[in-house]
Amino acid sequence: MYAYDEIDRTLVNERVSEFRDQVKRRLSGELTEDEFKLLRLQNGVYLQLHAYMFRVAIPYGTLATSQLRALAHVARKYDRGYGHFTTRQNIQFNWIKLAELPDALADLAKVGIHAMQTSGNNMRNVTSDQWAGVAPGEIEDPRIWSELIRQHTTLHPEFSFLPRKFKIAITASDHDRAAIKIHDIGLRLVRNEKNETGFEVLVGGGLGRTPFIAKTIKHFVHGRDILSYIEAILRVYNQYGRRDNIYKARIKILVHELGIEKFSREVEEEWQHIRNSSLQIDDEVIEDIRSRFTYPAYEKLPHMPDELRQAAADPEFEAWRKSSVAPHKVQGYSIVTISLKPIGKPPGDATAEQMDALADLADKYSFGEIRVGHEQNLALPHVAKRDLPALWKALDKLGLATPNVNLITDIIACPGLDYCSLANARSIPIAQELSRRFANHELANLIGRLHINISGCINACGHHHVGHIGILGVEKNGEEVYQITIGGRADENAALGTLIGPGVKFDEVADVIEDVVEAYLALRERPDELFMDTVKRLGVEPFKERVYATR
Amino acid sequence: MTSPLEQKKIKIAGPSVVTANRTWDGIVVYRTAAKSWSADLSEAAIVRNSDEAKALLAESVADDVGAVGPYIAPVQVGDDGKVEPGNLREHIRRTGVTIGQPAQV
C-alpha cells in the first residue's frame, strides 16, 4: 500500500472544502449550470439519465480495506447500496444527490480517496496492472512510477485544460493486463543493456469513434527522464491538438494525422529543451515514493500446503482455483481474482455488503489490500495458498466465487442506456443474457479463453473494439441495433476487431454470439486452439458465413 | 455549454414535453404548464408544434436553479389522454433501469 503524506491529505481536504462551497453556490443560484459544469466535472460528477453519477478514482487500482469500506459506506448512505467498477480503475455511484456530494467526498477524504481527474479534459486517473508488485517476472512495481506521474499531474495547470481527456496506463510485465496500447500514452517498464530502468513509450492509442492502437514513439526513456518526456508529448499535443472539433481532439488523431515520425520529431525537439530541467527526477524522489509503498511481511510457506492438496479433491474448488488463482512472486502465496461477473448479473457491480465483506476477507487473507482491474473484477494480491480453500468458501457465500475469470461469461460491459446519457443502446441486459446462455461451466471451459466486450455507444467505454468478440449498440430508426466484431484484443498483441456484417436486433444478439461460438468450436484445429487463434488463422469469413447464412 | 435553444432549429414530429434533471438531487423532472417542475410525466405541459416547443424550452432554460439540461422529448398521448414516453431512452428515464438493481433500494 502507498501511504499518503501531509501534502496529499491537505490537497484532498482542501478540494472537498472548495467543492462544498461550489455546490452551495450552485444550489443558491449564484453559479449557473454553465459555470458549474466544469467544476463538477473536475470532481467526477456527471449528469446521467436518472441522476448525478459520481466517479471516484482508485489510483493504479490499489485499495486498502479502510478505503473499500468507505466506498461501501458511500454506496449505502448516499446511493442505492451498490457501486459499479469501471474499465479504468474507477468506481461509479449512480444515484448521488448533488446536495449530499460534498459530504460523500468528505467521508472518502478521511481515507485518502478523491474524485479528482476522473472526468474533464485533463490527465485522468493513472492506471496500472492490478497484479503490480506481486506478478512473477515483473521488472519492478509499476505503481511507483504511476504514483510519480499522479503526483506530478494532479491539478497541474498545464494538464488541466487539454484539448480532450488524456489517459496513461503503465505495465511492468510481458503480459499486458493494463491495456496500455489503447491509451493516449502507454508505458511499459523495461531495462536497457546497462540494466537501468526505463520505459518503452507508446502514444496515440484509444478507442471511441476512431480507434487506434498506440505506436511506439521511443523504445527507451530512462526513468529519470520520464516526466520530461511525458511533458514534451503533452506540450506538442497542447500546441497542435484539435480544440475546434471534439471528434478530432484526442491525441490519437494528432498522431495519426502528423504520422508517428513527425510527431516523434516534434516531441524530441520539445524534450531537448526540458529534459535537463527540474523535471529530471532525482533518485531520492523515486526512493521516497518507493519507501512509501509497504509490502507484506510474507511468511516462508510451502509451495503445496496440505490444505490445498486436500481441497483439490473437491471439483467445485478446483474449478474456482483454476479460473481465479494465479501464481505469485513469493512462494506459498497466490493472487486471487474475484469475479464481479456472477451469472445473470450486471458486470462490475458490487453491493455495499459485498464490499464490506470483501474488506474483512482482505484483512484476514490478503494483508488488508484489494486490487481493481480494468476487466471490472477485483483481486486479492497476497493470499497464502493454505488459505485458498477457506477464502473460496467465504467468497462463495457472498456470491463472489463464480469460476469464470477469462471465460466467455467474464464480460466487460459499459453501463449503457440503462444509466448513461450518451448511450444509444443497452449493454447490461445483453451481457446478462449472454451470461445465462453460457452459464454451463463445462461449456465455458470447453470454449476456453474468450473475452466479450460490450459498449452501448461509439464512445466505447466497454472497449468493444478490442474484445475477442465486440458488441457495439447503436440506434437505428428508433431501435437498438448491435454490430458484432471479432478478432480484437487488448493485451500486448492488441488489435482492433473486424466487423462481421450488418447489425442485429436486441433479441438476436445472444443467438448470433452462440452461432459465432459454435462456428469456432467446429473450426478449431484442436481443443487448445483459442478463439483468437482460430480467427487469426481463418479470418472473419467463416464466422460471417455461419451467422448470416440463415439470416 | 451551448444553450439548447442555439443547438439546432427546434422541430418536433408530434406531442412533446420538456424534461430535465432536478438540480439538487438530479431526479428526472418534466416542465409543467404552471411553470414549475414535476417528477410526474402526467403533469407535464404537452406541446404540439415548434413554436410551442421553443417557448416551453426557453422558459425551462431560464429556470437554471430548478433543473439542469432541459431538452424536448417526444411523448405519446393515448385516446384517454394518458401520456407515455415516446422512445426507449425516455421510457428508461421515467421508469428506471430495465435490469434488476444489485441491492434493494
Architecture of the domain spanning A412-548: 2-Layer Sandwich (3.30)
Mean pLDDT, rounded, for B55-80: 96
Contact A542/A548 with Cβ under 8 angstroms? no
Q: Which amino acid is at A295?
A: Y
Q: What's chain A's average pLDDT?
A: 96
Mean pLDDT, rounded, for A519-526: 98
Cell of A200: 518503452
End-to-end CA distance of chain B: 34
Cell of A236: 506538442
A480 interaction partners in chain B (CB closer than 8 Å): 88
Q: What is the pLDDT confidence band of residue A419, given thresholds at 50, 70 and 90? A: very high
Architecture of the domain spanning A306-397: Alpha-Beta Complex (3.90)
Dihedral sign from CA coordinates of A413, B95, B41, B75: positive
Is the CB of residue A530 less than 8 Å away from at least one CB of chain B? no
Contact A50 B23 (CB under 8 A): no
d(CA A346, CA A413) in angstroms, rounded, equals: 8
| B24: nearest CB among A98, A349, A353 | A98
What angle is formed at CA A218 by the lines to CA A217 and CA A220, rounded to 5 degrees? Answer: 160
Neighbour-count burial for A508-542, b at 16+ CB within 10 Å, e otherwise: ebbebbebbbebbeebbeeeeeebbbbbeeeebeb
Contact B98 A418 (CB under 8 A): yes
Looking at residue A443, its pLDDT comes to 97
How close is the nearest chain A Cα to the Cα of B37, in Å? 15
| A27: nearest CB among B23, B98, B103 | B23
Q: Which of residues 17-76 of B touch A (CB under 8 A)?
A: 21, 23-28, 64-65, 68-69
Is the CB of residue A50 less than 8 Å away from at least one CB of chain B? yes
Q: Which helix (H) or strand (E) holds A286?
A: helix A283-292
What angle, 0 to 180 degrees and rounded to 10, lies between the N-to-C axes of helices A315-324 and A388-397? Answer: 100
**Is-same-fold flag (A306-397; A412-548)?**
no
Contact A81 B103 (CB under 8 A): yes
Q: Which residue has the cell 506538442?
A: A236
End-to-end CA distance of chain A: 54
d(CA B17, CA A289) in angstroms, rounded, equals: 55
Contact A33 B1 (CB under 8 A): yes
Highest CATH level, class, for A134-291: alpha beta
Q: What is the pLDDT confidence band of residue A1, given thresholds at 50, 70 and 90? A: confident
Model confidence pLDDT, tens digit, residues A82-138? 999 999 999 999 999 999 999 999 999 999 999 998 999 999 999 999 999 999 999
pLDDT at A216 over 90: yes
pLDDT at B104 over 80: no
How close is the nearest chain A Cα to the Cα of B94, in Å? 8
| B21: nearest CB among A26, A51, A418 | A51
Model confidence pLDDT, tens digit, residues A143-165? 999 999 999 998 899 898 899 99
Looking at residue B1, its pLDDT comes to 40
Q: What is the pLDDT confidence band of residue B4, given thresholds at 50, 70 and 90? A: low
d(CA B39, CA B43) in angstroms, rounded, equals: 8
d(CA A401, CA A412) in angstroms, rounded, equals: 17
Looking at residue B9, its pLDDT comes to 72
Q: What residue ranges do the domains of chain A occupy?
A: 6-109, 134-291, 306-397, 412-548
Cell of A181: 496500447
Mean pLDDT, rounded, for A414-439: 97
How close is the nearest chain A Cα to the Cα of B69, in Å? 8
pLDDT at B3 over 60: no
Q: What is the pLDDT confidence band of residue B8, given thresholds at 50, 70 and 90? A: low
Burial bucket for residue A264 (CB in 10 Å: 0-12, 13-18, 19+):
buried
> Which of A24, A31, A417 should be substituted to probe chain B, the one whose Cβ sees the most B Cβ atoms within 10 Å?
A417
Contact A484/A535 with Cβ under 8 angstroms? no
Mean pLDDT, rounded, for A321-330: 98
Contact B68 A29 (CB under 8 A): no
| Strand partners of residue A188 | A171, A200
Q: What is the pLDDT confidence band of residue B46, given thresholds at 50, 70 and 90? A: very high
Contact B103 A82 (CB under 8 A): yes
| Residues sharing a CB contact under 8 Å with residue B19, sequence separation 6 or more, in sequence order | B28, B29, B30, B31, B44, B70, B71, B73, B90, B93
Contact B44/B94 with Cβ under 8 angstroms? no
Looking at residue B2, its pLDDT comes to 45
d(CA A360, CA A365) in angstroms, rounded, equals: 9
C-alpha distance from residue A343 to each of A91, A316, A395, A403, A411 (Å): 21, 16, 15, 10, 10
SS3 of A144-193: the string is HHHHHHHHHHCCCHHHCCCCCCECEEEECCCCCCCCHHHCCEEEEEEECC
Three-class SS of residue B55? helix
Looking at residue A16, its pLDDT comes to 97
Contact A217/A233 with Cβ under 8 angstroms? yes
Contact A80 B87 (CB under 8 A): no
Looking at residue A2, its pLDDT comes to 80
Q: How far is CA A498 from the centre of its chain?
A: 23
pLDDT at A236 over 80: yes
Looking at residue A4, its pLDDT comes to 82
How many CB pairs below 8 A link A and B? 84
Model confidence pLDDT, tens digit, residues A169-179? 999 999 999 99
Contacts 24+ apart (CB under 8 A), A524-529: A527/A446, A527/A448, A528/A448
| A50: nearest CB among B68, B88, B93 | B93
B99 interaction partners in chain A (CB closer than 8 Å): 346, 418, 428-429, 432
Contact B97 A33 (CB under 8 A): no
Name the percent of chain A lying above pLDDT 70.
100
Domain A6-109 sits in CATH at 3.90.480.20
Mean pLDDT, rounded, for A440-445: 96
Contact B102 A350 (CB under 8 A): yes
Is the CB of residue B96 less than 8 Å away from at least one CB of chain A? yes
Three-class SS of residue A234? helix
Q: Which residue has the cell 479470418?
A: A539
Contact B89 A480 (CB under 8 A): no
SS3 of A21-72: the string is HHHHHHHHCCCCHHHHHHHHHCCCEEECCCCEEEEEECHHHEEEHHHHHHHH
Model confidence pLDDT, tens digit, residues A358-373? 999 999 999 999 999 9
Beta strand residue intervals within B6-100, DSSP E: 16-22, 28-31, 37-38, 67-77, 83-85
Q: What is the pLDDT confidence band of residue A343, given thresholds at 50, 70 and 90? A: very high
The side-by-side arrangement of strands in the sheet containing A90-96 is: A45-47, A52-57, A90-96, A82-85, A349-351
How close is the nearest chain B Cα to the Cα of A371, in Å? 21
Three-class SS of residue A18? helix
Is the CB of residue A25 less than 8 Å away from at least one CB of chain B? no
pLDDT at A8 over 90: no
Lowest mean pLDDT among A285-289, A384-388, A448-452, B2-6: B2-6
Is the CB of residue B13 less than 8 Å away from at least one CB of chain A? no
Looking at residue B103, its pLDDT comes to 65
Residue A164: phi and psi, rounded to 5, are -155, 180
Model confidence pLDDT, tens digit, residues A467-509? 999 999 999 999 999 999 999 999 999 999 999 999 999 999 9
Dihedral sign from CA coordinates of A238, A242, A243, A248: negative
ipTM for this prediction: 0.93
Cell of A474: 447503436
Name the more confident of A4 and A191.
A191
